[in-house]
Amino acid sequence: MITNTPSLVGFLAKTRPFSGASRADVEALAAVCSEHLFSSGECVFQEGERATSGWLVRDGRVRILDVVSRSRQSQIELLGPGELFGFFCRLGEENSTYPCTAVAEGPLAAVRIPDQPFAALRRHNPAAAQCTLECAASRILAMRREINYGRENAGARVARTLLVLHARFGDDIPITRHALSVWVGSAQETVFRVLARLRSKRLVSTGRGRVRILDSKGLEKFGAKQLHL
């Protein structure tokens, strides 16, 4: 664990919503933050745990999961450097618990940000407060799109999810087929069959922990066609 290093101050100062705060405010916040390292598959927090802080991805990626049943979880988000998690879902609540589970997708470095200092910053710094609301609204809109995707068939959901990840990571997407099935919200066998169809059409190739997009336009057309089935 690394606490309040000069580089942490600089990282916070460049990251929304803290980029709207003064240097002095950022330094004061960094003084009560701490950086934590997680191994792949390790939980940052679990659904139902008492929450007194939020987190910020510094390096790596984190999966945000929702428990659908005792044997199944649905992936809500996959977040990378500079993105907050464990905050927006609890804004305005007191003595709250985490409504979801956060799991490291590969090695993860994350900054723990206590609730009270962050709330104090928002109260006295209008720019930081406005930026927080904008970040929260953006994430809500993204999640609403994901809910709409959930009404589509598995082929359309796989195609749309791969296109979303393609926009973020480029042609070579670092995701296992199991993680993709959680994200899509379908059984692994169903997602594997869709991937086999995409491979046969030469739209994607798959490897260990990777999916490579070979034809993004073709993948987009495939997803659109699935909507009408």
200 has pLDDT over 90: yes
pLDDT, position 3:
47
Residue-level pLDDT at 169: 82
Kindly tell me if the per-residue pLDDT of 191 is higher than 60.
yes
**CA-CA distances (angstroms) from residue 138 to 30, 85, 132, 142, 216?**
25, 13, 10, 6, 25
Whole-Å CA distances, 197 to 72, 174, 203: 24, 20, 9
Chain-centre distance for alpha carbon 196: 26
Over 80: is that where the pLDDT of 187 sits? Answer: no
Say if residues 214 and 166 touch (Cβ distance below 8 Å).
no
User: What confidence score (pLDDT) does residue 215 get?
Assistant: 93
Position 130 confidence tier, pLDDT thresholds 50, 70, 90: confident
Q: What is the mean pLDDT of residues 192-213?
A: 91
147 has a pLDDT exceeding 60: no
- Rounded to whole angstroms, the Cα distance separating 122 from 80 reads 23
Domain annotation for the chain: domains and CATH numbers:
2-142 (2.60.120.10), 150-226 (1.10.10.10)
Range 178-192 average pLDDT: 80
Nearest CA to 97 out of 140, 45, 135 is that of: 45
User: What's the pLDDT at 122?
Assistant: 85
Share of the chain above pLDDT 90, in %: 24
Q: What is the DSSP letter of 122?
A: H
Cα radius of gyration rounded to whole Å, the chain: 19
CA-CA distance, 229 to 225, in Å (whole number)? 7
Is residue 112 predicted with pLDDT exceeding 60?
Answer: yes
The more confident residue out of 92 and 69 is 92
Residue 78 confidence (pLDDT)? 82
Give the global pTM. 0.64
